[in-house]
Amino acid sequence: MRSTIDWRRNPVGFIALLGPPLVWFLVFFAVPMAVVLGYSFGTNSGLTEIEISGTFANYARALEPLYLGILGKSLLFSALATLICLLVGFPVALAIAFAPPNLKTWLLIGVMLPFWTNLLIRTYALIAILRDEGVINGVLSFLLGWAGFEPLRLMNTNTAVVIGLVYVHLPFMVLPLYAALDRLDRSLIEAALDLGASHLRAVMTVVVPLAGAGIASGLLLTFIPVLGSYLAPDLLGGPDSLMIANVIERQFKRANDWPFGAALAFLLMYMTFAGILMQALWKGRRPADAD
């Protein structure tokens, strides 16, 4: 006979379980974020002092054309990188979901393996591939040297930034897609094939709609960290490849303008909350739409 625990009558166990993560959340997330939020409504009153005056001047400055242009470029880079991650990650996740059980584990380890390596090391490895004397130009020079091949200029370009963003964040797309595809009722796919649908049509008309929640989660989980990425634009991009996270980093480090940096950071956070809210509303409407 199963026994249930009434947490209202025995709150000690509930508090013991909730207490440590709640304290961790408050001390290392909520309180620092509240401090940064306060800074966004402040002004510099000295070299190291910030006066929280309740001003909205930092947010007004963040909406100037210069910073809106950088934000728009960041959104464009993030959307493009997220779309490429979806186009590349969906076939990978589909292949893993339909792989034999003994091979599936190794494929998942291969997807998660980049997380075990420092991000800075991975970015420098990509530099070794993209630079003028790197792997790509070396292979092309070997194959096309007879035709007077000139090295491709890949480093310090917007293309290198997008490649770096996709390279770093692709696992964020593959894993939620795999989780959704692995739960699919495969009899529906078999029925579509039996009724004469091609494999491509079965994927587009059966698999993609059923994996909609996983696709939405993958898009959100990929887009948010891509939008906040600053290492790839800093190391792979040129002067015109700055993203909004690079501007935030420079406000805190070089310009020593913490209030403005905090306002830019929370502008990103507001956009993140809006994206999460849109996904929650879309997910909440799915059962009604299905009916």
Angstrom distance (rounded) from CA 65 to CA 83? 26
What are the φ/ψ torsions at residue 52 (nearest 5 degrees)?
A: -85, 100
Q: Is the pLDDT of residue 283 over 60?
A: yes
Angstrom distance (rounded) from CA 31 to CA 263? 17
Short-list 204, 202, 169, 188, CA closest to 86:
169
Mean pLDDT to the nearest integer, 260-283: 84
Higher pLDDT, 281 or 67: 67
Name the CATH code of domain 67-290 (choices 3.20.20.70, 3.30.1050.10, 1.10.3210.10, 1.10.3720.10): 1.10.3720.10
Q: Is the separation of the CB atoms in 130 and 163 below 8 Å?
A: yes
Q: Is the pLDDT of residue 16 over 80?
A: no
The pLDDT, as a whole number, for residue 285 is 66
Residue 54's alpha-carbon distances to 18, 43, 59, 259, in angstroms, are 34, 9, 11, 11
Q: Is the pLDDT of residue 288 over 80?
A: no
- In the chain, where are the structural domains located? 67-290
Q: Is the pLDDT of residue 167 over 70?
A: yes
Q: What percent of the chain has pLDDT over 70?
A: 92
- Tens digits of per-residue pLDDT, 28-63? 999 999 999 999 999 987 767 888 888 899 999 999
In 48-190, at which residue ranges do the beta strands (DSSP E only) sit? 50-52
The pLDDT, as a whole number, for residue 5 is 57
